[in-house]
Amino acid sequence: MDLILDKEISPQTTFQNLQDYEGKYEYHENTSLSFIASEMDTTLYAIIDQAKYPLKYIAVDTFANNQNIPVTFQRDKTGKIKSYRVEGDRFSYISSDFERMEMYPRKELWNNSKAYVYSIPDRNIDGLEVGDLKDVFKNTQPIIDMVKETIKGSYPDVHSILIYKEEKLVLEEYFYGYAKDKPHQLRSATKPFIGSLLGIAIEKGMIGSEQDNLLPYFNKQYDSIANLDNRKREITIENFLTYRHGMDCENNNPESRGSEQRMMESKDWVKYTLDLPMVQSPGETSSYCTGCPLTLGRVVEIASNEKLENFAEKHLFSPLGITNYKWRFAPDPSSKTNFSQMYITPRDLLKLAKVYKDKGLWRGQQILPEKWIEKSFDTEDGDYGYLWEHKYFVIDGHRYDSYMASGNGGQKINIWPELNMITVFTGGNYNSYALYGKSTPPNEMIPKYILKALE
């Protein structure tokens, strides 16, 4: 079947027709998903673990998912939807009882974004001071415009925008039904915080140092490692922290043996990563590989003799007063729908970033070693430190440097040391490049609005 995905020339349907497909259905690994029709953009969405994925309408009962694979619905004799099929797999309709999602950025302002009025964020007991935009930015209008454009839908599925500058939270806006007390999935933005836990484990003497060779930590866990040669024996923990592993592992390259998709199809994601063949000596060049931080998380578990999420609660979350979160670290097929990711509120995410900005300190307590922070940010232009990416923008000849934790969907945590600023975005533009051939909204919004407000 030839699928036509261009929205301008695709066959048309109506919101009422799309409602036929709404409901809760079976999904892979004994889980479920929901299909929800959006009146805002006349689109049917698949909702998996609170993430929504648009389906392109092709014809009656036929759609295409974000991989251009047909999704076809089947009806019973009465015309009611009873199941759907994807690549030969059939999944049955379960019920009409499912959790709905807000499809409008701000429904009450959808046709009147000009009515938006800025307000200082609410003061909370979480230890974050609040302040006024006008006290820390030369020109607040670009930031006000950014919020209005998000309300208008110019930047779809941006769920939150937080700006922390000069030691105060000066902007806190939520969209699509999200709020300050609702944890948000981080996807790959979880990875730098796995690095935090590794740094803590080293500081406590559970791990010798990041210069330790990696493989010996798995001697008791695995009987053997495949494709073992002298190059692989030389891999250090630091090589995995900086993605300079030397293995055939490149996340978004389908030809790579270590691509994320191939890894997720294995029974043990850490073992799969360690078994990958080498393509060069470790330490030479960086290649983004999801298996690296997952493997480092397992190293912390082995060294501390406890689950990573328990270690995190004891040594990171609890000292920061973070309680409203969810995390199950399990690098195996049981995490195929949630990716072993962390779910946390944007304000608490800001607190984690603030610890990095403040050289490991939180309210006078040394949470992370100062030297670990320095090493985390010691990186070449556009490359990786200890799981943090160096990201910079050049505007009118002026360069703005930041260190970024980034995740699929538009999760962007940028620490701007020279500006004494942290910006936090959460979003739901999952697989946006695969769908639309473009990056997520924060990559445009940060230079166009936030950095412009500094001028």
**In whole angstroms, what is the distance from residue 53 CA to residue 229 CA?**
42
**In whole angstroms, what is the distance from residue 422 CA to residue 403 CA?**
10
> Collapsing DSSP states into helix, strand and coil, what is residue 75?
strand
Phi, psi of 375 (to 5 degrees): -70, -35
Task: Note the pLDDT of residue 438.
Answer: 64
> Does a structural domain hold residue 279?
yes
Q: Are residue 267 and residue 393 in the same domain, yes or no?
A: yes
First to last CA, the chain: 52
Task: Note the pLDDT of residue 1.
Answer: 34
Task: Note the pLDDT of residue 151.
Answer: 98
> Does a structural domain hold residue 406?
yes
Phi, psi of 272 (to 5 degrees): -60, -40
Q: Are residue 299 and residue 420 in the same domain, yes or no?
A: yes
> Does a structural domain hold residue 425?
yes
Single out the residue in 79, 95, 111 at which a domain terminates.
95
Q: Computed over its alpha carbons, how large is the radius of gyration of the chain?
A: 23
> Does a structural domain hold residue 383?
yes
Q: Are residue 191 and residue 82 in the same domain, yes or no?
A: no
Task: Note the pLDDT of residue 433.
Answer: 54
Domain of residue 343 covers 184-454
Task: Note the pLDDT of residue 8.
Answer: 44
> Could you tell me if 405 and 191 are in contact, meaning their C-beta atoms sit under 8 angstroms apart?
yes
Provide the token pair at 397: 């000849």
Single out the residue in 76, 95, 114 at which a domain terminates.
95
> Does a structural domain hold residue 107?
no
DSSP 197: H
> How many domains are there within the chain?
2
Return the closest-CA partner of residue 150 out of 182, 116, 101, 189: 116
> Could you tell me if 426 and 405 are in contact, meaning their C-beta atoms sit under 8 angstroms apart?
no
Low-confidence ranges of the chain (pLDDT < 50): 1-9, 434-436
Task: Note the pLDDT of residue 2.
Answer: 36
Q: Cβ atoms within 10 A of the Cβ of 335, count?
A: 17
Return the closest-CA partner of residue 331 out of 218, 255, 219, 238: 218
Buried b (16+ CB within 10 A) or exposed e, 246-284: bbbbbbeeeebbbbbeebbebebbbbbbbbbbbbeebbe
Task: Note the pLDDT of residue 69.
Answer: 95
CATH number reported for the structural domain that contains residue 76 in this entry: 2.40.128.50
Q: Are residue 86 and residue 188 in the same domain, yes or no?
A: no
Task: Note the pLDDT of residue 10.
Answer: 57
Return the closest-CA partner of residue 61 out of 134, 112, 1: 1
CATH number reported for the structural domain that contains residue 200 in this entry: 3.40.710.10
